[in-house]
Structure 1
């Protein structure tokens, strides 16, 4: 080997190159860790309605460690994504001393029972909200399905000056709507929107004019629907019990029109109207 000068020169050049790379890396490492490249500004963009300045300051103080070069962007992004209202976050360096953060907030569409909120993409998230939101119910794998049905069903009801208060999907994939004025609507498993459109048209043209409270509507009939109205209490009285004492009781006596309305629970309204 020692009698091969060409090989020895090649090995020497290789060792020289390696040493230069190591020295250059060490120099760069020292320079970027010097306090001459501080991160002076964190700019947060996005349509922010729930993420507060105080929350941003806390993340900057607790999680953004290092200078312009040594800051871990992945850890910084993860820290901002832990904010309850943050749906997605992107972070990038901006020379010479700025960090840009773009936050997309969740837009709350409804509540998922009493456990979470649902955004407009049909995703669950956990945050506090004081807004008056509709409530969704359903199986764990039904969040997107319920959210996707909400807009179309609510638009139909709005044409009759009604709105969805709760929207429920049963494990058998049957749908039930409760309106803000307390009407429970059974839609079944198929043709939910046509059935609801039929009810909205009749409600606007006929039922509202009757000025009678409705509590329940079964829309699962092929050519009509059944309506239930609450029973009214008309008087109270007292009856004697076996021990001679008297107890107050409420007597219920529906009118002729009430009796006719209650019968609609068990018959189909083939004409789509209520008498």
Structure 2
């Protein structure tokens, strides 16, 4: 081999190419990790109503690390996603020293009992609000179902002028709804919307004119309903005179 000049030339070229490749690789690693390329600007966009500048500043100062090239985009996105009202955070680099972050917030539709909120997309998230929101009580995993039912109940109750404020879904999938006037509806497990519409059709012309406070209306009867009125007292039975 040592007498084969062609083979020696090929080996020398290979070694030279390998050396150059290693130098390029080492230079690239140094370049990427060089402190000469820090992230100097963080630009945050989005229609923010609940997320505060202080929260965003805290994340930027305590959760983000690395240079413009080494900063982990997925970890950065997850760090901003930890904030209670953040639904989604999009992160991208902009040469030479800027990190652009677009934040989208949750929009609360209801409360989940005493623990967290439900967004307009039917997703539970851990946040607090002082807004007057409907309240859900239901089995774990029923958030989407209850969110859809809220919209359907609002539509079904529209003729009555009443609104649902508390939705209860039992483990047996039976519905109980409290309205904004304090009346509770027992709607059962089937024909829930039909029963609600039947109540709405009778409210103004029949139930609202009874003159007594109505606590509960049971709509589970096939062709009617029963109203519970705690203040109602039946008139005394008439006893005819005897001679």
Q: Which residue in the other structure is 2:106 paired with?
A: 106
Contact 2:86/2:104 (8 A) holds in 1: yes
TM-score (norm 1): 0.79
Asked if 1:73 corresponds to 2:52, the answer is no
Instruction: Supply the distance in 1 between the matched residues of 2:179 and 2:5 (Cα, whole angstroms).
Output: 93
Instruction: Supply the distance in 1 between the matched residues of 2:8 and 2:224 (Cα, whole angstroms).
Output: 98
Listed as ranges, the matches of 1:13-162 within 5 Å are: 13-162=13-162
211 and 102 in structure 1: CA distance in 2 versus 1, 3 angstrom threshold: farther
170 and 17 in structure 1: CA distance in 2 versus 1, 3 angstrom threshold: same
Q: Which residue in the other structure is 1:256 paired with?
A: 235
Question: Per-residue deviation at 1:61?
Answer: 0.8
Instruction: Supply the distance in 2 between the matched residues of 1:191 and 1:101 (Cα, whole angstroms).
Output: 47
> Could you say what the CA RMSD is over the residues aligned between the two structures, in angstroms?
2.0
Instruction: Supply the distance in 1 between the matched residues of 2:109 and 2:39 (Cα, whole angstroms).
Output: 38
Question: Per-residue deviation at 1:15?
Answer: 2.0
Instruction: Supply the distance in 1 between the matched residues of 2:192 and 2:234 (Cα, whole angstroms).
Output: 33
Question: Per-residue deviation at 1:211?
Answer: 4.0
Q: What is the SS of the residue equivalent to 1:176?
A: strand
Which consecutive residues of structure 2, in runs of 5 or more, have no partner in the other structure? Answer: 238-243
Aligned length: 237
TM-score (norm 2): 0.89
Question: Per-residue deviation at 1:101?
Answer: 0.8
Contact 2:112/2:135 (8 A) holds in 1: yes
Question: Per-residue deviation at 1:162?
Answer: 1.2
Q: Which residue in the other structure is 2:216 paired with?
A: 216
Question: Per-residue deviation at 1:255?
Answer: 4.9
Instruction: Supply the distance in 1 between the matched residues of 2:158 and 2:216 (Cα, whole angstroms).
Output: 18
Instruction: Supply the distance in 2 between the matched residues of 1:159 and 1:36 (Cα, whole angstroms).
Output: 67
Question: Per-residue deviation at 1:43?
Answer: 1.5
Question: Per-residue deviation at 1:194?
Answer: 1.2
Instruction: Supply the distance in 2 between the matched residues of 1:18 and 1:134 (Cα, whole angstroms).
Output: 68
Any idea what the Cα deviations from partners look like across 1:209-252, whole Å, max 9, x if unmatched? 344321101111111111111136xxxxxxxxxxxxxxxxxxxx
Contact 2:212/2:231 (8 A) holds in 1: no
Tell me which moved more, 30-39 or 154-163. 30-39
Asked if 1:193 corresponds to 2:193, the answer is yes
Instruction: Supply the distance in 2 between the matched residues of 1:221 and 1:64 (Cα, whole angstroms).
Output: 61
Which consecutive residues of structure 1, in runs of 5 or more, have no partner in the other structure? Answer: 233-253, 260-275
Instruction: Supply the distance in 2 between the matched residues of 1:113 and 1:215 (Cα, whole angstroms).
Output: 22
